[in-house]
């Protein structure tokens, strides 16, 4: 899911909403440019009990990009 350009708290809220629609075992990949997502999304995953399978920091088109791979419990 493309969350680029959204600022805190919107990335975490959108991930929470997406997770609520998924079945157990489903995976969502979220791409964020907001640096606060590095804190907010892992905290959200701890609260929901889902699994953060990967967190990758990189750059794309000259801006920082955080990519999260989350598996629904």
Burial class (CB in 10 A: 0-12, 13-18, 19+), 2: exposed
Closest alpha carbon to 58 in 4, 1, 17:
4
Annotated catalytic residues are 8
């Amino acid at each position: 899911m493309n969350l680029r350009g959204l600022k805190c708290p919107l990335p975490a809220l959108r991930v929470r909403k997406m997770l609520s629609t998924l079945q157990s075992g489903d995976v969502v990949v979220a791409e964020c440019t907001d640096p606060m997502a590095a804190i907010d999304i892992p905290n959200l995953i701890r609260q929901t009990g889902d699994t953060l399978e990967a967190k990758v920091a990189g750059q794309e088109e000259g801006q920082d990009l955080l990519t999260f791979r989350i598996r629904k419990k």
